[in-house]
């Protein structure tokens, strides 16, 4: 009889040094502060005036929050267990993880994004994953390239206006309207 053993998957967790520090700080806060806070709130809800129909919704809400926090702790531990720190990468004039890229859609305002690993992506804060539709489309391109982005809402084009890496010179282009291409 042949028994197959499944090896654990090793996912590459690309993080900037800034992202690693931010996620580590969040993990420490959740472990040291939030867990204790939730334990105290659970104790109050259960032991306070006795567990009854009035305290049950409060107790349940705290238990749900606790489950969410524990799930986030597990996610953060996984992300931080074997990170690949990419801040020191010198990508030159090609978009890679760690690049600060300024792009423009036809008729739109320029937008700047830092290309990061999926664990630290936050589009609202200007950090997009290299695995996102926009991030993956930009990878390997240079300033002045017109890039086609395949998104769930339909394809669109962006021009790379500038590209910059930590500790390196900013690479910019002269402005060419998208319509000329």
| CATH number of the structural domain spanning residue 158 | 3.10.50.30
Cα separations in angstroms, 76 against 38, 65, 97, 117: 18, 16, 20, 13
Percent of the chain with pLDDT over 70: 78
Task: Indicate the residue among 40, 58, 85 that finishes a domain.
Answer: 85
Domain housing 43: 13-85
Q: Evaluate if residue 168 carries a pLDDT over 90.
A: no
Q: What is the pLDDT of residues 45-92, one digit of tens each?
A: 767 655 556 567 778 888 899 999 999 999 999 889 888 887 655 567
172 part of a folded domain: yes
Percent of the chain with pLDDT over 90: 49
153 part of a folded domain: yes
Overall number of domains in the chain? 2
90 part of a folded domain: no
Residue 89 near residue 115 (C-beta atoms within 8 A): no
Q: What is the pLDDT of residues 109-147, one digit of tens each?
A: 999 999 999 889 999 999 999 999 999 999 999 999 999
The mean per-residue pLDDT over the stretch 88-97 comes to: 75
Tell me the pLDDT band of 33, cut-offs 50, 70 and 90. Answer: very high
pTM recorded for the entire structure = 0.70
Count of beta carbons in the 10 Å neighbourhood of residue 82:
10
Examine the domain organization and report whether 67 and 119 are in the same domain.
Answer: no
């Amino acid at each position: 009889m042949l028994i197959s053993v499944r090896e654990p998957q090793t996912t590459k967790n690309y993080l900037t040094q800034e992202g690693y520090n931010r996620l580590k700080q969040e993990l420490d806060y959740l472990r040291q502060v939030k867990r204790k806070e939730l334990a105290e709130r659970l104790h109050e809800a259960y032991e306070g005036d006795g567990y009854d129909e009035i305290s049950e919704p409060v107790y349940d809400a705290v238990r749900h929050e606790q489950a969410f926090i524990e799930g986030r702790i597990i996610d953060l531990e996984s992300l931080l267990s074997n990170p690949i720190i990419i801040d020191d990468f010198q990508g030159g004039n090609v978009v890679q993880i760690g690049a600060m890229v300024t792009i423009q859609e036809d008729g739109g305002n320029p937008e700047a994004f830092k290309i990061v690993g999926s664990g630290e992506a936050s589009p609202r804060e200007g950090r997009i994953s290299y695995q996102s539709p926009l991030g993956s489309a930009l990878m390997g391109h240079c300033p002045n390239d017109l890039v086609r982005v395949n998104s769930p809402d339909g394809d669109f084009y962006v021009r790379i206006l500038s590209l910059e890496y930590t500790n390196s010179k900013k690479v910019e282009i002269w402005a060419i309207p998208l319509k000329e291409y």
